[in-house]
Amino acid sequence: MKREEKASISIMKIICVSIILILISGIGVMAVNVKLNDVKIILQNGYEMNVLTSKTQVSAILEENNIILEDNQKTIPDLDSEITSGQSIKITDKSYNEVKVAQISEKGVETTLDKILESYAPITEKIIVEQVVIPYETITKNSTNASEDGTNKVLQQGKDGLKEVTYKAKYQNEVEIEKIVISEVVITEPVNKIVQVQKTATSRASAPRTAGNTTTAVIGGETYKITAYCSCSKCCGKSTGRTASGTRATAGRTVAASSKFAFGTQLNIGGHVYTVEDRGGAIKGNRIDIYVGSHAQALQWGVKYLPVSVVN
């Protein structure tokens, strides 16, 4: 009887050990089947932490790591989102504008939020004060007293002025993206250069001029204020190069004049024949604007007072 009891106890022991081993093996298999994700958590202060987790929902991962959001905080992606290994959770202020990530098919453009965050840079503002030169103008005056040699005389030398300009500039990645003028203060006024032009008996402005089959005749003998302009936005407010008459502005040919002169009228200005093809808001009365090839040439021309005649 004792032998049978001992044998029964031994069998029970064997069965219990077997059950324990089976349970341990099952737990091991379950542990192997659980996938751990490597996730980066970026706190609002910039601190980064890498965690291993079996969770996939953002809220569950934060809870697992004892991270509690404040009322003014949010996560990118949001708390209900599912993420996988290699992705990041960014904690930021609710006022932060999230950049949506576009994924265009498998063969198209695809990017990640991490790459966008890496390229993101804040915009900084700076106040800049610069001194800018004010170029002087050249004024030409005709002399009533003719000189025998016809030599021009400089009555007053020109001198550039100086002004202080205050700008508000915006930078991103150390690149200037915007520059706005806040104020301008003139430090020194420019002094215009005045040149006296001596008339001679052989002046082309006082005698009829023949160019091919056209004859120039002076009408009224009026002296006009002659300025210059180009097709840049500073001169015209646009840069198309098209005139008010529809032609393309051409240096040495095009002038802007008031409605006193019809489009197509040819004018002799200082011995050169131009064609009226353009208008201008500031071109009124005895003023004509000559088209030149560049803004530098327009500045170099300055202001001149020359006799103007109509070519018949």
Residue 241 has pLDDT above 60, yes or no: yes
Domains 37-119 and 204-311 share a fold: no
Question: In 10 A of CB 289, how many CB atoms?
Answer: 22
**Top-confidence residue, 281 or 217:** 281
- N-to-C CA span, the chain: 149
Q: Whole-structure pTM over 0.85, yes or no?
A: no
Beta-carbon contacts of 218 under 8 Å, excluding residues fewer than 6 positions away, are 205, 206, 208, 307, 309
- Which of 65, 12, 22 lies closest to 41, judged by CA? 65
Beta-carbon contacts of 155 under 8 Å, excluding residues fewer than 6 positions away, are 141, 194, 195, 196
| CA–CA gap between residue 259 and residue 9 (Å, rounded) | 125
Domain 204-311: homologous superfamily in CATH: RlpA-like domain (2.40.40.10)
Strand 48-53 versus strand 272-278 pairing type: unpaired
Instruction: Give me 127's structure tokens.
Output: 């106040």
- Which of 171, 163, 162, 166 lies closest to 182, judged by CA? 166
Calculate mean pLDDT across residues 29-37: 60
- What is the assigned CATH class of domain 37-119? alpha beta
Q: 235 in helix, strand or coil?
A: helix
φ, ψ of residue 30 to 5 degrees: the values are -65, -40
Calculate mean pLDDT across residues 249-260: 90
| 155-201: pLDDT as tens digits | 888 888 898 989 888 888 778 888 888 888 889 888 888 877 765 44
Domain ranges, ordered by start, for the chain: 1-29, 37-119, 124-195, 204-311
Greatest Cα pair distance, the chain, in angstroms, is 158
- Which of 78, 81, 79, 82 lies closest to 98, judged by CA? 78
Residue by residue, DSSP assigns 150-189 as: ---EEEE--B-EEEEEEEEEEEETTEEEEEEEEEEEEEE-
Domain 124-195: homologous superfamily in CATH: Resuscitation-promoting factor rpfb. (2.20.230.10)
H/E stretch holding 117 reads: helix 113-119
